[in-house]
Structure 1
Amino acid sequence: MAVRVGFAAGASAWPEYQVPLARALAEVGVVAEVSTLLDDPASVDYLVVAPGGGIEDFSAFVNAKAVLSLWAGVEKIVGNATLTQPLCRMVDPDLTQGMVEYVVGNVLRHHLGLDRYIRGGTGWDQQVPPLSRERSVVILGLGALGQACAAALMALGFPVTGWSRSAKSVPGVACVSGEDGLQAALRRAEILVTLLPKTPETEGMLDARRLGWLSDGAVIINPGRGALIDDDALLAALDAGRLGHATLDVFRVEPLPASHRYWSHPRVTVTPHIAADTRAESAARVVAENIRRGEAGEPFLHLVDRALGY
């Protein structure tokens, strides 16, 4: 009997996922019927979702063995009281690679001071940058994305400090945790990369007080979550010339309103949430593997801890 998989990630996503998902399920030996028609929720064994996919009430999916998100961040659904099924977030190798490329590219851009040349310098302005081993990079968040970015940066010679809410040990990374560890990390950051999930504990985490711990001229790169940063506090620090630059890929409101000061600020680079997108081919393989695991009675990959919110 075929496993019934409901696809509720939005009508526009279905053409992109239909063939890769069928192929990935066949590759792991799962006979499945995948459909966007969810007129009989009780018959659905697995539900593939994304925010805005059309489901707000999960209570009718009484036999669903898991809800499989196509997004790495689950803050839009983890608090839904009707979602009582196991919830798995997306940890996708291609998504991770995309994030690594974005972070490394922007770290190198700021490290080398390329903006002064790209935007047109004033004459023969020879400002020779330090070597990578002389530039301290701090990453907030040591999950799959943070660890992958740390490894890539260390391979280029950057000393990397990583902060996480709970203590972690990552080879080669100076790992710190807790409020004292956060203060120590921010004080040593010349380039700060924020890769934390959005939770009640991380929202507005980089406020005026904590931004004040950063050294003069420090650069912030935020491809994590827009809500991590107090926008007014960041703009004040940039206006005062205390911080060197902010490269921002995520925002509290997206698309970023045309009237927002980030667009015109000379010390801000806006990118339109392009750092790490879910790609259908690789994401379909992650979904298929979790369905195979569910049918085999094995633990799901990337199961969300409801208490932590990720």
Structure 2
Amino acid sequence: MLTSGSDERVVWNDTLRGLRIVSARTDGTDRRVIYERTSQDAYNLVLSPDESMVAFAPFDRRGPATRLMVVPTTGGQARNLFPRRSGAIGLGPIGWSRDGRRLIFQSFVEEPAKPQVEARLFSIRVSDRHLRRGRPVNGRALGVASGDVAVTRRGIVTKDGNTIRLFPTLGPGSKSRVIARNAYDMRTSGDGRWIFYTRAVGRHQSLQQVRATGGTSTTVVRWRLDGLDKPYAFAPDTTGARLLVVGEERTAQPVTRYTRVLETSTGDSADLPLRVRGIIAAW
């Protein structure tokens, strides 16, 4: 388990209205506001492999501008990587390449020969904003999509509608492989080896774990949709051995929020002194 004074950092949106990205150590110290815009919101926060940078896609409630921002996790200049004439509209799941040089993401794009916009994978180089368009994906839920893209030795793992697929290449022509079906929120471990996702069955919802290369999913934790103890955000650590879990306990009034570390192999958990308010976090 984590101990007080750990150098590991958590990054999260600290408000439920607007965008106020905060970074702090897991014991609650060295708290810093690294990005703040009252007119913006975001669904995704993704740490770089060396944990020095965080990427996110803020959307402005006052206009259609598409942005892909990167900012140091300890604070500094925020950069918008997105070219103005990209043709892309809105961003969905985001992930870093294994060397931290590129970001892979989903976005809608206008195709002149088609009657409606199409969801595709894209890759952009962080150093010079070189953008590369990739293969189409099923973007039915892209407008409210949260989660990650995992870049592995065998390809790119991302949501394709409510299915998680492994695409061997960014471009078309290669056959994809199904990793999991009926999947909702998807997050990946920092090393890209493990996928975590939520699945609802009847009155219950569960957090599932599966290798990014495929295999059998296992249940990490399960809860009732109308239960008194309900997590609403989770973020794996670098190896996938632990999860940062944010949730609410409704057993007493007023409702109390918690931030916990959960061991994925045993199910053991421990509360952290850190209090995460928002619904997205990266660890």
Q: Tell me if both proteins adopt one fold, taking TM over 0.5 as the criterion.
A: no
Highest RCO, 1 vs 2 (Cα 8 Å, sep ≥ 6): 1
Please identify the structure whose Cα radius of gyration is greater: 1
TM category (shorter chain) comes to: under 0.3
Question: Per residue, is there more helix in 1 or in 2?
Answer: 1
* TM-score normalised over the length of structure 1: 0.25
* TM-score normalised over the length of structure 2: 0.27
Question: Per residue, is there more strand in 1 or in 2?
Answer: 2
